[in-house]
Amino acid sequence: MAEERSGAVTMRGNPLTLVGAELKAGDKAPGFTLIGKGLKPVTLDEFKGKVKIISTIPSVDTPVCDAETRRFNEEAAKLPANVEVLTVSMDLPFAQARWCGAAGVDKVTTLSDYRGANFGAAYGVLIKELYLLARVVFVVDKNDKITYAEYVKEVAEQPNFEAALEAARKAAA
């Protein structure tokens, strides 16, 4: 049974439980298999040698997640070529593709954890009560070591974009 962190985050002030251990800078990024476009499995190994900004969100169909994903898409164009931006949610890949098309988001890779929430538990971002992912940003270097992690305490708030982008630029240098 995975570790549970009661009250690790809140949603509109209500405490929620995160499943899995909290990952920190210096930890090795756990391997994963998520579902991408066309229901194709996508693994961490597919991004070997690249810096990854991994943004986890509850759903692209909510205003805060929509704004966050659009911002990372905008920023992705300004980042070094060896930086990949991944947005992970429990949304089905069909919904992610529809949303990206409607929003004009084309520089972020959306991935789904809907098959078992294994990523959510491994990265300590699965909200037990809602079976959704919390708002968290990880920066993972070329060697799959986490160099930055922000678990946003209040799920309805945006992450610290500047700190995450700075960490990604530093890891890419």
pLDDT tens digits, 91-148: 999 999 999 999 999 999 999 999 999 999 999 999 999 999 999 999 999 999 999 9
- Residue owning tokens 């509850």: 58
The token pair that represents 134 in the structure block: 């919390």
- In this prediction, what percent of the chain has a pLDDT beyond 70? 99
Residue 1 pLDDT greater than 90, yes or no: no
One of 65, 83, 140, 155 is an active-site residue; which one?
Answer: 65
* Predicted TM-score (pTM) of this structure: 0.96
Domain that includes residue 160, residue range: 4-172
pLDDT tens digits, 69-80: 999 999 999 999
Long-range contacts of 150-153 (CB under 8 A, 24+ apart): 151/8, 151/9, 151/18, 151/22, 151/124, 151/125, 152/9, 153/9, 153/10
- Check which CATH number belongs to the domain holding 123 and give it: 3.40.30.10
Closest CA to 144 of 35, 39, 31: 31
User: Structural domain tally of the chain?
Assistant: 1
* 100 flagged as catalytic: no
45 phi-psi bin (left φ>0, alpha ψ -120 to 50, beta other): alpha
Whole-number pLDDT of residue 33:
97
The token pair that represents 21 in the structure block: 């251990």
**Helix/strand number for the chain, H first, E second:** 4, 11
Whole-number pLDDT of residue 2:
77
